[in-house]
Amino acid sequence: MRILISGGGTGGHIYPALALIETLKKDDPATEVLYVGTHKGLESKIVPAAGVAFQTIKIQGFKRSLSLENFKTIYLFLKSVHDAKRIIRQFKPDVVVGTGGYVCGAVVYAAAKMKIPTFIHEQNSIAGITNKFLSHFVDKIGICFAQAAAEFPAAKVVFTGNPRAQQVAGIKPSGRLQELGLSATKKTVLIFGGSRGARRINEATIAAFEYFAEKEYQVLFVTGSVHYQKIMDELKTPVPQNILIKPYIPDMPAILPEVTCIVGRAGATSLAEITALGIPSVLIPSPYVTHDHQTHNAQSLVTVGAAKMITEADLTGVKLADAVDELLRNDQLRMEMSAKARAAGVPDAATRIEQLLQQLIAKK
């Protein structure tokens, strides 16, 4: 199989693509992959570092307000479609996949116009503007949340789940908590606001230190690199012995099988990991994302009893501490939430997408 994949802007678009590539390569080492992104996006660092062939096109997203920049955006889109067609002719893919972000808009649109089989993947419960646009041209659309189906042509929608889930589902405990200096036998809550951290989660966690201090469980608090030094400089009291503060953990998935519960955002990739491993969670959706999609993502787990949610507007140190305490003191509740989290996930998502791509190629 020769597959061209495009997606970028955020890790939520990039990591599912890499997870899919990993499965395709594992199942057929002869699979050839080309990833198309932008030179400014996160994909320009993450994808080459993963050893995947990478090319770029120049494109930018639309401004949400009236702006002369949007005329430039239209010009760049038309030019990027032309450039994408050139890349497609050179690579000759059997199928083209888009995982979100404006960069895949031009690439997948170009492929559809060239009559090449196309597939897009929507990770969130509320569809992104690029995928809504592409839905009129592609052959199939993979979704991770049932709510997203209503935003696309029904005949094209397939429930696939997020490939990231399959990537982490097999991870086993490896002693990473001990390597960080934590106990391997104590219950552990991981508090993590994403790779860059989240200011409000950090503030609430610091306010909760006094409540965590005397607990029998331990807290791994990952602040995000941009917040770490300021937090350490401004701490007014010693850090309790059962709390470890880290700026960033590069191999975060390796730690997940060893934590008892998670406090964090509700991005699609995070939820794929949580459900794949069956980790009880307290979700604090970011209110700063398009269409408030993280709240909708989180609600899908809350509705089935797989997670608890605190809105950022309601977040305090006391509420955070109480939510964590309830989970870590109630073994039965955690077991029930873990089972429901696993049931809400799709552990074979990458394989489902692989089979769908093979079907699209066979129909060509």
Residue 249, annotated as binding a ligand = yes
Handedness of CA 22, 26, 28, 29 (dihedral sign): positive
Match 């660092």 to its residue by tokens. Answer: 45
Which tokens belong to 114? 């060239």
Contact between 338 and 278 (Cβ < 8 Å): yes
Residue 10, annotated as binding a ligand = yes
Residue 294, annotated as binding a ligand = yes
Residue 124, annotated as binding a ligand = yes
- Strands (E) located in the chain: 2-6, 32-37, 53-56, 95-98, 118-122, 140-143, 157-159, 188-192, 218-222, 243-246, 261-264, 281-283, 307-309
Report how far residue 106's alpha carbon sits from residue 233's, in angstroms, rounded to the nearest whole number: 46
Residue 12, annotated as binding a ligand = yes
Q: Residue 227 carries which side chain, given as an amino acid letter?
A: H
Report how far residue 196's alpha carbon sits from residue 217's, in angstroms, rounded to the nearest whole number: 26
Residue 80, annotated as binding a ligand = no
Residue 202, annotated as binding a ligand = no
Enumerate the known binding-site residues for UDP-N-acetyl-alpha-D-glucosamine.
10-12, 124, 195, 249, 294
Enumerate the known binding-site residues.
10-12, 124, 195, 249, 294
